[in-house]
Amino acid sequence: MKNPKGRILIVDDDKDVCESLRMFLKYEFEEVFTLTNPNLLLQWIKKEQIDVVLLDMNYKAGIQTGNEGIYWIRKILKTDPEIVPVLITAYGDIELAIKAIKEGAFDFVVKPWDNDKLLSTLKAAYKLRETKIELKNLKEKHQQIYNDIDKKYKIIWGSSPAMQKIFEVIRKVAPTEANILIVGENGTGKELIAREIRRLSARSNEAFVHVDLGAISENLFESELFGHVKGAFTDAFEDRAGRFEIANEGTLFLDEIGNLPVYLQSKLLYSMQNKMVTRLGSNKQIPLDVRLIFATNKDLDKMISENLFRKDLMYRINTIQIEIPPLRKRKEDIGQLADYYLNHFATKYGKSHLKINEKAIEKLKTHSWPGNIRELKHSIEKAVILCDSMILSPVDFIFSQADRDFVNPEKSLRFTDLEKNAIIEALDKNDMNLSETARELGISRPTLYNKICKYGLKL
């Protein structure tokens, strides 16, 4: 027989009732405590790890309103929201029972009680207590995950006027429910902005679901976004929630919205207008409460003129539009960004004392950064991994062939020496016959002649 679980506290001003209940329940639960004075109830809850409180509803002589029980339910749940109250009273008033359950009671038992009914009620109450604790722990874990993710996607705003203006816009719109469209080139940090909006919103403790529409094959768009029911298509072996449902009560970030096919744009518009979603293969509408953020690197106005994007959808998605400037237009932020990524990767790769000098920063500022912040991040990571000194200098950042030749002139010199020596040896071997020498070297006769002139060789 398994060891019984659950710690029950019985609160009733009748000592005989308390003792009778204790004797009946003591073999069914881990611990059974009794209390005749409800004024000591909160002390017991704080002192002992109580799972279920079996609570009488009336304590003062001649008063049978049940208000005392309601009062103590509120106090119990305020002290420990995971405790499960079960009420017991000699007066089976259905209206009082409903009122008590609305206040948070799990169930209502009438005196004289039926042992089987009472036991099953308390067992179910204890199961609910376990579920509450599991849910609480799960939420705490999720919150920790969200916090860790927020740290991973930390924004470095920089000092440029453009980014400061964006920060002010985000600060104003994040607490609202307005739909937001983020536009900008690849690598400018559109996802970071979306996550920052979610972090500053009332939905910060709820899910953030990122959907990269540019990475989904066209035949899976509808299923990915709206879900499907079993049998909706060949490989639909079971019901599956779409990203809208998964993000319910949270934030849904639809990245690369310009990739959404026209035929699905109308379904997206309908879902936004009606706050409903219908799974593929079903007629059932599922209500939704989702904050929507969109992003694109495409020219949606041009797509509208080419009938590739719906104008009415455009009106819906960009209540607020945030345009992120490319890195080449905010070069005053490069130094701060470089320092941030240097510290991050220096720590990651065990080079915590690594620094970057001013000449290297100046070189970074002269680069055009076609890949924007993403390219800068990868350039810093590569430099940290490959550097041999404790200070990153301009030679640690390679952006062109000229940079490569500058960084390793010895290598270039060795190659020319090898080529020159190979030509001299081949000429000697073939008695200065240019045709035979060219054939041995695998080059044309004119090319050989040009190289002889280049190296100043005498025939």
Query: Please, what are the domains in the chain?
Result: 7-134 (3.40.50.2300), 173-324 (3.40.50.300), 328-403 (1.10.8.60), 409-454 (1.10.10)
Instruction: Return the structure tokens found at 198.
Output: 């979610």
Whole-angstrom distance, CA of residue 321 vs CA of residue 170: 10
Q: Report the pLDDT value the prediction gives residue 65, as an integer from 0 to 100.
A: 59
Extract long-range pairs of 138-145: CB within 8 Å, 24+ residues apart: 139/205, 143/205
Bridge-based pairing state of the strands 276-278 and 285-287 = antiparallel
Bridge-based pairing state of the strands 180-183 and 320-323 = parallel
Q: Report the pLDDT value the prediction gives residue 52, as an integer from 0 to 100.
A: 93
Summarize pLDDT for 175-217 with one digit per residue, the tens: 999 999 999 999 999 999 999 999 999 999 888 999 999 888 8
Query: What are the DSSP calls for 165-201, one per residue?
Result: HHHHHHHHHTTS---EEEE--TTS-HHHHHHHHHHTS
Please check whether residue 374 is in contact with residue 405, taking contact to mean a CB–CB distance below 8 angstroms: no
Q: Report the pLDDT value the prediction gives residue 113, as an integer from 0 to 100.
A: 86
Q: Which residues in the chain come in under a pLDDT of 50?
A: 1, 62, 402, 405-413
Whole-angstrom distance, CA of residue 354 vs CA of residue 392: 7
Please check whether residue 129 is in contact with residue 52, taking contact to mean a CB–CB distance below 8 angstroms: yes
End-to-end CA distance of the chain: 104
Helix axes 334-348, 358-366, angle to 10 degrees: 120
Q: Report the pLDDT value the prediction gives residue 410, as an integer from 0 to 100.
A: 47
How many helices (H) does the chain have, and how many strands (E)? 19, 14
pLDDT-above-70 percentage for the chain: 90
* pTM of structure: 0.63
* Residues sharing a CB contact under 8 Å with residue 225, sequence separation 6 or more, in sequence order: 211, 242, 243, 244, 264, 268
Instruction: Please tell me whether residue 98 adopts helix, strand or coil conformation.
Output: helix
* Residues sharing a CB contact under 8 Å with residue 202, sequence separation 6 or more, in sequence order: 175
